[in-house]
Amino acid sequence: MAKDDSAAGTATAGEAPVRDFIRDIVADDLAARRHDAVVTRFPPEPNGYLHIGHAKSICLNFGIAEEFGGRCNLRFDDTNPAKEEQEYIDAIIRDVHWLGFDWGKHLHYASDYFETLYEWAEGLIRAGKAYVDDQSPEEMRVNRGTLTEPGKNSPFRNRSADENLDLFRRMRAGEYPNGARVLRAKIDMASGNINLRDPVLYRILHAKHPRTGDKWCIYPSYDYAHGQSDAIEGITHSICTLEFEDHRPLYEWFLDNLPVPSHPRQYEFARLNLGYTVLSKRVLTMLVRDGHVKGWDDPRMPTLAGLRRRGVPPEAIRDFIKRIGVAKANSVVDVGMFEFSIREALKAAPRRIGVLRPLKLVIENYPDGQTEQLPAANHPDDAASGTRMLTFGRELYIERDDFMENPPKKFFRLAPGAEVRLRYAYFVTCREVIKNAAGEVVELRCTYDPATRGGDAPDGRKVKGTIHWLAAADAVQAEVRLYNPLFKSPDPPGGENFAADLNPESLEVVSDARVEPALATANDTAPVQFERLGYFCRDADATPQKPVFNRTIGLRDSWAKERTG
Ligand code: ATP
Ligand code: MG
């Protein structure tokens, strides 16, 4: 797929107003007074959780309503009780709110219109524009034809209106089992557009609906419910993804043949595809159902609930959506763009210290039993955010990765004989390396220079590396969860065979990390930066006994920076 740059640059995140072809249409319509106000909707089917692709549609629909002084409804297209659940309705409401949008009193359900849709269907029957078909699903499939061959008329196509009405009412009354009959529009079995080959309007489904309970045992098809719900709500611009382009003639057919109170127009845009990410609700459902992830809100999931739990702020998602823009050509967006927006949104987060894989460092010339408090800046670029005190003492933990026994030339961190700066503290020099019986490094014996308190040497001597540390005396043990992409390939398979592409290293649990004492007690979920390691947030699994943190995203490779000076 081509890189989508048709829209890039039109949407600079920040002050500049967003422009795209849909916003141009809306602006034209308002200027020409074709509508007094714009009315849009976000229309999820409550059969799963929302993902970052839905965020594009949400930001577009709610964004347009906001920018043009109109309104956006949240409408559930809840026409398939076999797959829909109250849990999904609740999650969708929560997630759209979290993303920062509000529909006021305009929370609607297609199921609110079931009675009207039913009456309109009877109207189509009376007008000779719909009929009850007794063909089996298999016969219907065969007789629909293909892209190159026309379909065949059903033998039931010419039933009288009275017979159709009687059968349809008996369908509603529950006289027939699932799949026995359907109501179809009588349009054209030879149409070049398969959607117009007598589409199904109603099917029999004996299933309890999350909202209407057992009231109905026939349910409207998505196509029959969707456009009419738009019309009932006075939607002016019905915005959907490109795969509905071929459905537009049907959308229009219904509006032209039913006594609808308004005539919305449908516009299609390219859905969001993201590298290394699957945005198929079907696959996401299987990931959850088959236990490949811990749930819909697993931080590896591209769902809004997963991103929230991972620590991605809603601003980051809105900023990303703004930057990618809206176009009519399908494309795959580089995950790097999303990561850029996440780092931008997190850059003001307070700095804290965490040590993922602790290595003990003992300062031989620091008095045993003594400690001192050293101030550490909460944010290097924001003096107003103040400082906090860190305990310093004879025994510290440093990051295992910050020591190398046989370092390459440009490794500026700790090594035998080398001197580094301990951030906010002193210079230390490594004097001795202690190993266990297996030959693993278990402790470093160092000396410190008391004159370098605060991090500078009075004699002007420089060190190239600065590393982070925590005092063994008060560092708190914590679990830290590091994440990698859930899939191995940039374009993961969207179908049944997705499992083969799952990345076995998508979750790495570091169970023996250490964090600042302040992080152990704070129970808020606000993001923090662990210096040099990335942005983190407290996970919902944390307890007062055991803090748990998720890495939201890493910083840019800090060693690369050190190497280039
Ligand atoms: P399905 O219809 O298979 O259940 P869906 O992802 O289309 O899955 P809906 O609940 O119908 O789910 O989606 C609600 C709205 O979000 C629709 O208007 C749809 O076009 C839009 N949407 C879904 N996926 C994306 C995406 N990747 N990018 C942009 N918009 C999307
Ligand atoms: Mg859909």
What does the pLDDT look like over 142-186, one tens digit per residue?
Answer: 999 999 999 999 999 999 999 999 999 999 999 999 999 999 999
- Whether 538 has a pLDDT exceeding 60, the answer reads yes
Q: What is the 3 state secondary structure string of 368-383?
A: CCCEEEEEEECCCCCH
Tens digit of each residue's pLDDT (9 = 90 or more) over 365-402: 999 999 999 999 999 999 999 999 999 999 999 999 99
Distance of alpha carbon 519 from alpha carbon 503, whole angstroms: 31
Average pLDDT over residues 476-505: 93
Give the residue, by CA position, lying nearest to ligand 1 atom 6.
Answer: 281
Q: Number of helices (H) and strands (E), helices first, in the chain?
A: 14, 25
Instruction: Give the whole-angstrom CA distance, residue 503 versus residue 489.
Output: 9
Atom nearest to 282 CA in ligand 1:
3
Q: What pLDDT was estimated at residue 15?
A: 57
Whole-number Cα distances in Å, 36 to 23, 28, 102, 236, 532: 16, 12, 21, 10, 53
pLDDT of residue 496: 81
pLDDT (0 to 100) of residue 523: 65
- 285-323 core/surface letters (b: 16 or more CB in 10 A; e: else): ebbbeeebbeebbbbbbbbbbbbbbbbbbbbbbbbbbbb
Find the 281 Cα to ligand 1 centroid distance in Å.
8
Task: Give me ligand 1 centre to Cα 51, in Å.
Answer: 9
Cα 248 to chain center, whole Å? Answer: 28
Ligand number with the minimum distance to the CA of 240: 1
Give distance in angstroms: CA of 272 to centre of ligand 1: 10
Residue with CA at minimum distance from ligand 1 atom 15: 44
The 8-class DSSP code of residue 401 comes to G
Could you count the other beta carbons within 10 Å of the beta carbon of residue 364?
12
Q: Please determine, for residue 36, whether its predicted confidence score (pLDDT) is greater than 90.
A: yes
The alpha carbon of residue 302 and the mean position of all alpha carbons in its chain are separated, in whole angstroms, by 4
What lines the ligand 1 site, CB under 6 Å?
43-45, 47, 53-54, 56-57, 240-241, 271-272, 279, 281
Lowest pLDDT segment from 12-21, 71-80, 197-206, 339-348 = 12-21
Return d(Cα 98, Cα 155) in angstroms, integer.
52
CB of 62 closer than 8 Å to CB of 295: no
Q: What is the largest CA-CA distance in the chain?
A: 103
Higher pLDDT, 497 or 193: 193
Cα 266 from Cα 355, distance rounded (Å): 53
Please choose from 41, 79, 241 the residue to mutate so as to test ligand 1's pocket, defined by most ligand atoms within 8 A of CB: 241
The type of residue at 287 is: L
How much is the pLDDT for 525? 76
**Ligand index nearest the alpha carbon of residue 304:** 1
Task: State the chain's mean pLDDT as an integer.
Answer: 94
pLDDT score at 198: 98
Residue with CA closest to ligand 1 atom 13: 44
From CA 165, how far away is CA 183, in angstroms rounded?
10
Site to probe by mutation for ligand 1, drawn from 274, 281, 326, 330 as the one with most ligand atoms within 8 Å of Cβ, is 281
Among 225-234, 406-415, 515-524, which is the least confidently predicted range? Answer: 515-524
d(CA 375, CA 383): 13
pLDDT value for 521: 73
pLDDT score at 563: 45
Identify the residue whose C-alpha is closest to ligand 1 atom 16: 54
Query: What is the pLDDT, as a whole number, of residue 493?
Result: 86
Which neighbouring-strand residues pair with 267?
239
**For ligand 1, what atom is nearest to the CA of residue 271?**
28
Mean pLDDT of 314-330: 96
Beta bridge pairs of residue 203:
182, 219
Q: Residue 228: which of 75, 83, 92, 357 has the closest Cα?
A: 75
Residue 9 vs residues 16, 246, 479: alpha-carbon distances, Å: 11, 29, 41
Residues β-bridged to residue 445: 362, 432
Query: What is the 8-class DSSP label of residue 507?
Result: E
Mutate which of 20, 22, 41, 45 for ligand 1? The one with the most ligand atoms within 8 Å of its CB, which is 45
Which positions ≥6 away from 228 have C-beta within 8 Å?
113, 116, 117, 120, 254, 255, 258, 260
Chain CA centroid to CA 511, Å: 27
| Å from CA of 281 to ligand 2 middle | 9
Task: Say yes or no to pLDDT of 3 above 80.
Answer: no
Report, as an integer, the average pLDDT of 115-141: 98
Active site residues: 45, 271, 281
**Nearest listed ligand to the Cα of residue 280:** 1
d(CA 437, ligand 1 centre) in Å: 58
Q: Which ligand is nearest to the Cα of residue 274, counting in written order?
A: 1
Contact indicator for 390, 472 with CB cutoff of 8 Å = no
Please give the backbone phi and psi of residue 137, each rounded to the nearest 5 degrees, phi first. -55, -35
What is the spatial distance between Cα 111 and Cα 114, in angstroms, rounded to a whole number? Answer: 5
Question: What's the whole-model pTM score?
Answer: 0.93
Ligand 2 centroid, distance to 242 Cα (angstroms): 11
Q: Decide: helix, strand or coil at residue 152.
A: coil
Average pLDDT score over residue span 354-359: 98
* pLDDT of 412 above 60: yes
CA distance 168 to 161: 10
